Structure 1
Amino acid sequence: MTETPSVGVLMFVAHRHLEDRIITEARAHGFPATLAQGRLLARIGPDGTRVTDLAAAAQVTKQTAAYLVDQLESIGYVERVPHPDDARARLVRLSARGVEAQGFARTVEARVEAQWRAHLGDQRFDELHATLARLREITDPWLDT
């Protein structure tokens, strides 16, 4: 008999499925990106984000984050702009194309969640969402940022 994986592994499997769907569908609809690029792109805030903050949130080195930002800039998804409060710093901000790509990703995410809801039923899906939101309170170091 196969043992049921831990909760962490089960969450990872669901998350991996979601990421794969987003990347696969985005590529098919003219939004090419690697998984690493997509993970970084998803962490760019509406007013822009410093590379150091992107690196911390993505749990990669600053050099890796800068390299990924260079790639995202070369394919037209982001731009570097001066930081409004720090003349020495720059922000990474979504370009118009990046906003489109991020919007498309959110659409795919909503479709996947609708499939999960249909599979689990409304009550179980809502309980899962509430439980994971509660767990986030003790697991997400960027919750209040």
Structure 2
Amino acid sequence: MDLNVIVLTGLAGGSLERLQLARLAEAGFPGLRRSHGYVFQRLIDGSSTVGQLAKALGITQQGASKQVRELEDLGYVGRVPSPADARVRTIELTARGRAAVETAREVQAALEAQVYEAVGPEKLAAAREALTAMLTMTGDAARIPSRSVPLGEV
């Protein structure tokens, strides 16, 4: 394939995301989209209001509400009264949402194992190093620990 590394990275990432979502659907977690993963990332460590999600995702409150509604309809998140103020509803992962996160991690590990089998440990380590360098170059590597990598397209 005679494509540059930037194009290959984008194509491979998109292909693997589609494969992961298909495997999640096969495992009993249908309806998920790439953008839902960003919402999950912000809820793994605790609840959030729609306004907080919108700000963290860099989207409008209406956009965040749409994401939450979709995930709520699918049973992955729920709205609960805030412990600090019962008038405020916070969004949190349901047991089904947490199970989807665990299954996604298992699917990711299986996909990485497939790549490992295809290219071996040295090439996989080199790929990891190159991809990390790209994330560092764009400034996004520093944002990964805080789960604040930009949303991109919704």
Q: Deviations over 1:61-116 (max 9, x none)?
A: 331221111111122111224556x6476542211000111111111111111111
Contact 1:26–1:32 (CA under 8 A) maintained in structure 2: yes
Residues 60 and 39 of structure 1: is their aligned pair in 2 closer, same or farther, counting only changes over 3 Å? farther
TM-score (norm 1): 0.77
Matched with 2:11 is 13
Tell me if 1:68 matches 2:67.
Answer: yes
Runs of 4+ in 1 over 6 A off after TM superposition: none
Matched with 2:95 is 96
SS in 2 for 1:14: helix
TM-score (norm 2): 0.73
Percent identity between the two aligned chains: 30
Residues 55 and 9 of structure 1: is their aligned pair in 2 closer, same or farther, counting only changes over 3 Å? farther
After TM superposition, the structure 1 stretch with the greater mean CA deviation from structure 2, 44-53 or 14-23, is 44-53
SS in 2 for 1:93: strand
Residues 9 and 51 of structure 1: is their aligned pair in 2 closer, same or farther, counting only changes over 3 Å? farther
Matched with 1:122 is 121
Contact 1:52–1:62 (CA under 8 A) maintained in structure 2: yes
Residues 12 and 89 of structure 1: is their aligned pair in 2 closer, same or farther, counting only changes over 3 Å? farther
Superposed displacement of residue 17, structure 1: 1.6
Superposed displacement of residue 3, structure 1: 4.2
Aligned length: 142
Residues 40 and 132 of structure 1: is their aligned pair in 2 closer, same or farther, counting only changes over 3 Å? same
Contact 1:81–1:90 (CA under 8 A) maintained in structure 2: yes
Tell me if 1:139 matches 2:139.
Answer: yes
Unaligned runs of 5+ in 1: none
| Equivalent residue for 1:24, pick from 8, 22, 32 | 22
Unaligned runs of 5+ in 2: 147-154
Tell me which of the two structures has the higher relative contact order, counting C-alpha pairs closer than 8 angstroms and 6 or more residues apart. 2
Matched with 1:109 is 108
